Amino acid sequence: MRFVLTIAAALLAAPALASGDHADHEGHEGHDMDHMADLARFGAPGDPAKADRTITIKAHEMAYDIGTLDVRTGETIKFVLVNEGTQSHELGIGDAEYFAAHRKMMATMEMDHGDMPNMTVAKMGETKSFAWTFTKAGAFEFACSMPGHAELGMIGEIIVK
């Protein structure tokens, strides 16, 4: 019976997959993707090879080892996430609106998403990195959007001057 249901699900999904429009929003139906797509509000993807400096952040169970970061406008930071916890953790860069939309999406997902330009996910024992260029002054956030993690303390502030 399980095999029949699996085949039926695959056949029903085939037309949606064939449409070609699923790549940008696969699994994100019903979510506010506009707040997640406009990354220019808080910067732009950077080139790790041209980073002005590297900041290593260690993730433990529901905590990062850093709470506040000071950054200059125009600075490119290579962020290195070292997961010393016992479960997957994320390190993302964004503003309050971005993280509100992302946390809402993550609460309904059944699995970890892959890396995105402004974030990475590291499984237990992994080290992952990405680079980000801060193009605007302001107060931004870094956080883990795994369900419940930011609410329990996996969040920090980025001050860009």
Domains in the chain, CATH or no CATH each: 31-160 (2.60.40.420)
* Residue-level pLDDT, tens digit, the chain, 161 residues: 333 333 333 333 333 333 333 333 344 344 344 444 568 888 999 999 999 999 999 999 999 999 999 999 999 999 999 999 999 999 999 998 888 887 787 777 655 566 888 999 999 999 999 999 999 999 999 999 888 899 999 999 999 99
C-alpha 32/C-alpha 65 separation (Å) is: 30
CB 129 within 8 A of CB 78: yes
Instruction: Give the global pTM.
Output: 0.74
